[in-house]
Amino acid sequence: MKESAQAALSFARVQATRLGLRSDFLSDREIHIHVPAGGVPKDGPSAGVTMACVLVSLVSGIPVRRDVAMTGEITLRGRVLPIGGLKEKLLAAVRAGMRVAIVPATNMAELSEVPSHLRQRIKIHLVHTVDEALVVALTRPLPHPKSAAVAPRGPAAPVVTPPRRGGAA
Residue among 30, 34, 72, 39 at smallest CA distance from 53? 72
Q: Is 89 a catalytic site residue?
A: yes
Q: Which amino acid is at 118?
A: L
Which residue in 4, 46, 57, 60 is the catalytic one?
A: 46
DSSP helix, strand, coil percent of the chain (3-state; round to 5) = 35, 10, 50
**Strand-by-strand arrangement of the 100-104 sheet:** 68-70, 100-104, 123-127
How far is the C-alpha of 120 from the C-alpha of 50, rounded, in Å? 23
Residue among 32, 36, 41, 67 at smallest CA distance from 138? 67
Which residue in 4, 10, 60, 89 is the catalytic one?
A: 89
Q: Which amino acid is at 97?
A: G
DSSP E strands: which ranges in 76-169? Answer: 80-81, 100-104, 123-127
Q: Cite the active site residues.
A: 46, 89
